[in-house]
Amino acid sequence: DVKVTQSSRYLVKRTGEKVFLECVQDMDHENMFWYRQDPGLGLRLIYFSYDVKMKEKGDIPEGYSVSREKKERFSLILESASTNQTSMYLCASREAGETQYFGPGTRLLVL
């Protein structure tokens, strides 16, 4: 079974802190994605990566950056957390086909 894991299920941070969200997949997938999920808005794409050290902006990249140093790991970074970044963050990976596999999510609260 494909497994996508995220480093934390719940996080509480203060405004201005630097926040790292880690995602690891164990199936050698080239494509990895970060979404945020908000009520009434569904999932919105923040960043994605087609390969190691490659990244592309999604629909809402402002306030975020990413890092992909190894194929299995895709990190989302909030350089200076703000309250409007309180959300559920979902990581996904995809094989050469179309099915995306999601991690369990990280619920982030920024105070």
Interface stretch with another protein, choices 14-22, 43-51, 66-74, 79-87 (CB under 8 A)? 43-51
Tokens of 18: 């630097």
Tokens of 14: 């203060």
CB of 106 to another protein, least distance (A): 10
CB of 16 to another protein, least distance (A): 29
How do beta strands 87-94 and 100-102 pair? Answer: antiparallel
Using the rule CB under 8 A, which residue among 8, 22, 43, 61 binds another protein? 43
Footprint of another protein on residues 66-105 (CB under 8 A)? 90, 92, 98-105
Backbone phi, psi, residue 105, to 5°: 95, 150
Let me know: does 90 contact 36? Beta carbons within 8 Å.
yes
Q: How many CA atoms lie within 13 A of 83 on its CB side?
A: 1
The reply on whether position 7 binds another protein by CB under 8 A is no
Task: Tell me which DSSP letter residue 84 carries.
Answer: G
Interface stretch with another protein, choices 11-19, 38-46, 64-72, 76-84 (CB under 8 A)? 38-46
What residue ranges bind another protein (CB under 8 A)?
4, 31, 33, 35, 40-45, 48, 56, 58, 90, 92, 98-105
